[in-house]
Amino acid sequence: MTHFTLWWLGLAQAETQTTEAERACLAHHAEGKRRLAEIGVWHGVTTRRLRAAMAPDGILFAIDPFPVGRLGFSAQRWIARREVGQIRNGELRWLRMTGRDAGRQLAAERSEFFDFIFIDGDHSYQGLQEDWEAWGGLTTQGGVVALHDTHSTPDRNIDDAGSVRFAKAAILTDTRFEVVEVIDSLTVLHRKDGNDRESPA
C-alpha cells in the first residue's frame, strides 16, 4: 500500500521486473502486430509498450488474475488500468484470470490465433508449463512468443527457477519454434511453418 499511495500521489512510478533492454525488445517484436496477448500484467509497464507498438487496428489481451489484497481490492489492477489507459492505440481487452484459464477459454471459443504472445505470469515450473500448454498452439505461423525469466544473466542467477527449468526441458526443444533473440532473461521465439499446427479445441 505504501507504493500504491506514492504512485497515486505521483511520487512513484509503476513497477516492473523487466529491464529496459527487454522492454525495447518486446516493443520491437510487437510492432505492427494485430492480435497480441500478455500473460502477467502486474502494473502494466510492458502492456503500455506493447499497446503503443501494435497496429492501430490491433487488439491486445491483457491477462492477469489480479488477486484481491488485504483492503479488498487489487492495487496492481488499479495501477495497470490507469497506466495502460493512457495509451490510445488499438483495442485493449482485460481478462482477469490466469494464463492457463484464458488460453483454454479462447481455445474453447475457437478464437483467432495470435501473432504476438508475451508470457510473464506464474514463474513456477508448473505455472509456465500450464501457460505454454495453453498458448503454444495459439500462435500464428511466423508469430512471436516471448518468455520472461527463462535463463540467467551475468547479474542474476535464476538457474533454479521453475520457469528456467521448464524452458530448458520443453520450450527450447519444441520443434514448432526457433529462438530468434535472447535479451537479458528474455527469450524470443518464432513459430515455424504451421503444417503441424494444432487447431483450437
pLDDT, tens only, 121-139: 999 999 999 999 999 999 9
Give the integer Cα–Cα distance in Å for 77 and 65.
9
Tell me: pLDDT of 33 over 70: yes
The pLDDT of residue 70 is 81
Whether the per-residue pLDDT at 1 is higher than 80: the answer is no
User: Looking at residue 196, what is its pLDDT?
Assistant: 46
177-199 confidence digits (pLDDT tens): 999 999 999 999 999 975 444 44
Residue 131 near residue 122, CB atoms below 8 Å: yes
In the predicted model, what is the mean pLDDT of residues 71-89?
Answer: 94
Looking at residues 16-27, what average pLDDT do you find?
97
Q: Exposed e or buried b for every residue in 129-142, given b needs 16+ CB within 10 A?
A: bbbbebbbbbbbee
Residue 11 has pLDDT above 90, yes or no: no
Q: What is the mean pLDDT of residues 7-19?
A: 90
Q: Which CATH class is domain 17-193?
A: alpha beta
Domain assignments of the chain as residue spans, ordered by start: 17-193
Rounded to 5 degrees, what angle do the CA atoms 173, 152, 192 make? 30
pLDDT beyond 60 at 30: yes
